Amino acid sequence: MPPTTDVLLVTHVQARRDTGALDVYRPLRLEVNGLPGTLPVLRILAAGGDVEAGLRALAARHAVAAGPPVLTPVYLHDYLARRGMVLRELPCIEGPGSDEALAAILRDGVRLVALSTTWLLGPEGAEVVRRAAARVRRLAPGVPLVAGGVGVRKGLRARELFLAGRLPGLSVADLARDFLLIDPVRDRDLDALVLSEGSEADLVDILERLRAGRSFTDLPNLALPRPEGYLFTAAEPRVTELDAECVDWSGHAVRLGGFEAPVRTAVGCPFRCEFCDFAGLYPARLRALDSLVAELRTLPPPRRVFFTDDNVAITRQRLVQLARRLISERLDLRWRAFLRADTVDAETAALLRESGCSECLLGIESADPQVLANMNKRLDPDRARDAIERLDAEGIRTQCTFVVGFPGECPASIERTAAFLSALPSGGRARAFHRYYLFRFQVSPLCPAASPEQRARFGLTGLGEQWRHMTLSAEEASAAIRHVFLKVQGPTHMYLEMVPPEWSLAAARQVLERRDELQKQRLRGDVEDRLPELLAAVRQADGLA
């Protein structure tokens, strides 16, 4: 009997991780009864409920234990279905019951297992993929196994840089912990790695071969691990058809589970920030707005969307075109997205509000002009502050990210960042609310700052979490993160959570700001218990007061 499933896609090869739980960020997060003081936890406590039971009920209401959906499995499901092929998803291969879930799908018959490497978290990502591959091999020794996605593309870039002598001081063993395509013996459990941008087309070709009972290892765009090295098949450029291949969201209501739909308006980013290891992995391309609107219309109203692009507004002109089109279509849309602060002015902020934008995620990265210049960020701090003020005036909230410790960072630049954050709208003078996230600089071998030229320019040594340069060390950057958090007055640091959409902006702002102030009091040694005041604010936000 032929297999009932053409491809089993493992979306996450590792369990989702709350980066705020890491030692460098933990002091910035309130803990209540041994749990992170996230809004779901606080809401359950404020209502007098049992936290563990409440969190289980919350997961059941969303209907998707894996959390908010990501685009990869939804897009691939529809892409393959249009070609008469069946995809089943295993949301995560780690965690309780994952072996049993994997084995159950395999018993029904599977032609191919595909590991997505797009959602790897932190260092040693290649080792995570290899553990997942070994687990599949153990449970399904005869089923072909391939890997594709961002992690494979990064591995290909690392290999190219290494062979070109652009990663001095790093050995095969050093790189193989973090990257695939470096050591073929360690990648041996994979039959192939799919290298192209448009890997969905390669996946179809592989499945057609398997359906015909033939080998796929001579197809283009593959790397085949062999004991003597990788066998690379012919390169045949393929790109994702952004306009022709739309998701039909009407068939994914259960998968959404009440969360926002992840939708893309573009791929890639044309900017080359020095700290970013994604730059250039995928050529920047825009989607036609007709195609985007057609996909959005497949969502049942009220439509709630997170645009997944690295940068939804590559230019101000594109942002204006997008917002005006969404306004004219009357889609009953609420949306969030990453965009550049320098595309926001009075006109675009008003258009964003009218188009349904509720939140902008802004990469500010520093408030110091010299640090921003070192980053090749091409952003003026005053322009960024003005953008946030404009968005606040329209009632649009923001999430702003900052990279602490980039070369050039020093006590003066750290103070500028703290002052920048404290000057943002908060309390009674804000219409929305504004959150920030302080990331400690990491030295990825793929980021431009790690090139031999930039290392020499900045006096940068080390890799990953352990580094030092002319003005700062990793340890000093950790101390700076705590210092900024304690000094900022008003805007609040990020938790891994979603703000309840039914809360008013004012109520949400009060809860978030009270929570941060409580944590700062605890860090300063203030033993007065202000938790009841915070829970009272939560009850008021929930209409229980």
Which tens digits make up the pLDDT trace of 448-484?
Answer: 999 999 999 999 999 999 999 999 999 999 999 999 9
CATH of the domain at 449: 3.20.20.70
Q: Are strands 87-92 and 5-12 parallel, antiparallel or unpaired?
A: parallel
- Domain final position from 177, 209, 232: 232
- Domain final position from 232, 260, 293: 232
For the chain, what is the mean pLDDT? 93
CA–CA separation, 114 and 490 (whole Å): 46
Residues 223 and 363 in one domain: no
Query: Which of 65-74, 235-244, 313-322, 464-473 has the lowest average pLDDT?
Result: 65-74
pLDDT for 320? 97
* 252 touches 258 (CB < 8 A): no
Residue 39 lies in a domain: no
pLDDT for 1? 64
pLDDT for 452? 97
CATH of the domain at 227: 3.40.50.2300
**Which one-letter amino acid corresponds to residue 9?**
L
Residue 515 lies in a domain: no
The β-bridge partners of 435 are 399, 492
Residues 340 and 429 in one domain: yes
Residue 133 domain boundaries: 5-16+66-232
Q: What is the dihedral of CA 441, 443, 447, 449, to 10 degrees?
A: 80
Residue 436 lies in a domain: yes
Q: For residue range 412-457, what is the model confidence (pLDDT) as tens digits? A: 999 999 999 999 999 999 999 999 999 999 999 999 999 999 999 9
In degrees and rounded to multiples of 5, residue 499 shows phi and psi of -75, 130
Residue 59 lies in a domain: no
Residues 339 and 473 in one domain: yes
- Domain final position from 498, 517, 536: 498
* 465 touches 457 (CB < 8 A): no
**Which one-letter amino acid corresponds to residue 319?**
L
Residues 316 and 438 in one domain: yes
Total domains in the chain come to 2
Residues 197 and 77 in one domain: yes
Residues 195 and 275 in one domain: no
pTM: 0.94
CA–CA separation, 122 and 24 (whole Å): 14
CA–CA separation, 318 and 472 (whole Å): 38
Residues 130 and 200 in one domain: yes
How far is residue 79 from each of residues 189, 241, 353, 487, measured CA to CA in Å? 27, 10, 33, 50
How far is residue 208 from each of residues 63, 73, 88, 105, measured CA to CA in Å? 33, 19, 17, 20
- Ranked by mean pLDDT, which of 9-18, 97-106, 142-151 comes out on top? 142-151
Q: Convert 326-363 to b/e letters by CB count within 10 Å (16 or more is b).
A: bbeeebebbbbbbbbbbbbeeebbebbbebbbbbbbbb
Residues 202 and 275 in one domain: no
Residue 505 lies in a domain: no
- Ranked by mean pLDDT, which of 28-37, 280-289, 339-348 comes out on top? 339-348
Residue 155 lies in a domain: yes
Residue 523 lies in a domain: no
- Ranked by mean pLDDT, which of 241-250, 255-264, 395-404, 497-506 comes out on top? 395-404
Residues 75 and 221 in one domain: yes
Handedness of CA 363, 369, 374, 379 (dihedral sign): positive
Residues 211 and 275 in one domain: no
CA–CA separation, 272 and 449 (whole Å): 10
Minimal CA–CA distance to 434: which of 465, 463, 402? 402
Residues 130 and 204 in one domain: yes
Residue 171: pLDDT above 70? Answer: yes
Q: For residue range 241-271, what is the model confidence (pLDDT) as tens digits? A: 899 999 999 999 888 888 999 999 999 999 9
Residues 329 and 202 in one domain: no
Residue 477 lies in a domain: yes
